Chains A and B, each alone.
Chain A
Amino acid sequence: MLGQQIINGLMLGSVYALIGVGYTLVFGVLRMLNLAHAYLFMAAPFVAFLAIKNGIPSPVALIAGMSVSALLGVLLYHLAFRPIPRHHALGGFVSSLSFGVVLQVIVVNAFGSMKIPFGTGLSLPDLELGGLILSGVQALNLVMATALMIGLLVVINRTRLGRNLRALAQNESAASLLGVSVRKHVQLTFLVSSALAGLAGMMVAERFGAISAYMGDTYAIKALAVVVIGGLGDLRGAMVAGVLLGIFEVLFQAYAPPGWSEAFVWLLLIATFLFKPEGIFGMRTSRREV
């Protein structure tokens, strides 16, 4: 049972990781939390659902879901971040949440508040290894989250684009004076981060065979914990913390008295603030790091 539960946790953690990486990207550049992220996670599978319903082939529908999510991310930046003064303590936090809630209301009005069956017909078969069962979709999720994290780390550390982003994260004015186009780079960050949210949403929808306007709520709040525990603005941290949180949450659900697994996540968050406020890999928040 322990082996299967660790696999269950690994699979759950891969979703947290993918969402957490998206949160981290935006935080790394703007030092503002994008609370609409979970709503983009929810919106993408609805786009794919609509496309599939209208006869569009599933792979195209999935790309459409990710693309709409990415474009919504750019819209989000222009509506909820760019006009908000950076010094406002709750500016981006509240405006992005508002954007997300509006998005959710639109989905509720268009599709209702009930769960809707979701299936692309592309389901990967589950993998069985010595009595242990791995969900094909979630295994892919884990592989993709890892590949994306490595890819993003390479881009950020080894490319001109990454250097510009790092410069932007450390000092926006200085970067701008050195010719870095702030708007273009921030837009790009939102585009990638939101596409990742959409991808995660569609993988969750495919794995559990259902979508709802509220499907992002639980993951969103856990992914926030992932970002803090992993280290604000650190991609490796988000990935590792996501996977660890998933495993520990599942182990608590399996072995601790009922109801304690939820407390565990938040106790871990408080412990992080108390004993390692910079998180697993994160820098002190006085520095800004992508």
Chain B
Amino acid sequence: MNTRRQWIVAACASMLYLAGPPALAQQTLKIGVNLERTGSGASYGVHMLMAAQIALEEINSAQGVNGHKLELVIEDNRSSPEQAVIATRNLDNAGVFAMLGPIQSSQCRTAFPAANRAGLVAISTGSGAPGLTAQNRPWTFRNAAIDQFIIDELVANLRKRYPQAKNVVAVVDPKDAYNSFLVKTVAPPALEKNGFTLVNKDALIEIPNDVADFSVFVTRIKAMNPDIVLLGLLFEQGKGFLREANRQKLVVPMFAGLGYLTETVAEAAGGIDLWAGQPFDPNAADPKVRQFVQTFKARAEKEMPSQYSTPTYIDAGAYESMYIVADALRQAKATPQSAPKEIREKVRAHLAGLKSYAGLGNQLSINQDGDAVKPTLVYRASGGRWAKL
């Protein structure tokens, strides 16, 4: 019996030895990523993660932070608000110093309060629905876009381009928080201010995000004879809608909110004059932007050949945020042994006081609500490509 027990102890010891010294795993500074790796937001999630990993590799290859490498602890929130809370708790328990994500407003709506309760910095690089950070001070931030600015600018430009246009018809994914805000809260005042009428304001055309056949909705809109269509859909759904609109020859100008600036959307737009905005210009001459875009495109084309390869504002935001968090950890003199609570507070203070940070083609500052103030850029899709106004 004793001999057997000795064998078991020896075997366990050997396995522990082969697994490597446990201290090695603790030599990194952990940053959590709470992202939409699967589900309706998966396309955003995998690209955003790629951008964060590019930044991580660059930082680590340049001596890391305070002599330690950064490590991403990844939690898939499955594009589910409930799962986003669980992912936040898991990252809190894992002792990460800060958390990137979630990307979508639907998940931020539940994960932000959880992060606030846990005292964990959360930085969304995609969410655009108004008020989500303001309601969850002081631990939540967004390095994304302030939707109202983008839509105001976009609609004002639409008015200039189409002076005779009057009637706007809106479609919306009723379960997506961002798009619901866009269509019900953000767009109506901008449209009204510029002399447009949202003709179906009280009877929005709802398109759930599991719909593959858009024919019924396009036929319905066509019968309403709109001058302009507002797309309150996630970009993957938007592509399906645009293809069907082209098929049924509903070729009127359309506009959408954030998240549409991908080459696959521009291709799907075909002959439709599609407008969208974001706070990042992938064609900017800034060498930092060029290098990031080049690296991102090369990796996306290799690893995800059928997906979009030009980074969006979400990806640019993730890249910037990694550097911002790295700076914060540097200033906090964070080490793997540091108490998470103490470092998290320093990271939070760093973000809250961020002014004129040299981002990717911008000088970003965080406002009192926790949102990054970034440039407002409006684009039009033409001939399968996006062009900045």
Q: A-side interface residues toward B, CB under 8 Å?
A: 1, 4-5, 8-9, 11-12, 108, 112-117, 126, 133, 135, 204, 208-210, 214-215, 217-218, 250, 253-254, 257-259
The tally of CB-CB contacts under 8 A between chains A and B is: 76
A209 engages B243 (CB within 8 Å): yes
Given contacts A112-B304, A113-B42, A259-B174, contact A218 B210 (CB under 8 A): yes
B223 engages A114 (CB within 8 Å): no
B174 engages A108 (CB within 8 Å): no
A11 engages B46 (CB within 8 Å): no
Q: Is the interface of A mostly helix, strand, loop or mixed?
A: mixed
A116 engages B306 (CB within 8 Å): yes
A214 vs B236: C-alpha distance when bound (angstroms): 14
A209 vs B212: C-alpha distance when bound (angstroms): 10
Chain B residues with CB below 8 A from A209, complex form: 243
Chain B residues with CB below 8 A from A204, complex form: 212
A90 vs B304: C-alpha distance when bound (angstroms): 40
A4 partner, pick from B42, B205, B219, B240, beta carbons under 8 A: B219
A12 vs B214: C-alpha distance when bound (angstroms): 10
Interface residues on B, range: 20 to 34
Chain A residues with CB below 8 A from B42, complex form: 112-114
A258 partner, pick from B37, B46, B204, B240, beta carbons under 8 A: B204
A189 vs B189: C-alpha distance when bound (angstroms): 60
A217 vs B210: C-alpha distance when bound (angstroms): 9
Chain A residues with CB below 8 A from B215, complex form: 8, 11-12, 135, 250
B247 engages A114 (CB within 8 Å): no
A254 engages B243 (CB within 8 Å): no
- Answer whether residue B38 sits at the interface, using C-beta atoms and an 8 A cutoff: yes
B216 engages A250 (CB within 8 Å): yes
Residue interface bits B184-220, CB-to-A below 8 A is 1, else 0: 0000000000000000000111100011110111011
B204 engages A113 (CB within 8 Å): no
Shortest B341–chain A CB gap in Å is 35
Residue interface bits B40-56, CB-to-A below 8 A is 1, else 0: 00110010000000000
- Answer whether residue B264 sits at the interface, using C-beta atoms and an 8 A cutoff: yes
- Answer whether residue B39 sits at the interface, using C-beta atoms and an 8 A cutoff: yes
Chain A residues with CB below 8 A from B219, complex form: 1, 4-5, 8, 254
Chain B residues with CB below 8 A from A8, complex form: 213, 215-216, 219
- Answer whether residue B338 sits at the interface, using C-beta atoms and an 8 A cutoff: no
Shortest B208–chain A CB gap in Å is 8
A8 vs B217: C-alpha distance when bound (angstroms): 10
Shortest B288–chain A CB gap in Å is 28
A-B contact pairs, 17 of them (CB 8 A): A4-B219, A8-B215, A8-B219, A108-B38, A112-B46, A113-B37, A113-B38, A114-B43, A117-B306, A133-B247, A209-B243, A218-B210, A253-B216, A253-B217, A254-B220, A258-B205, A258-B206
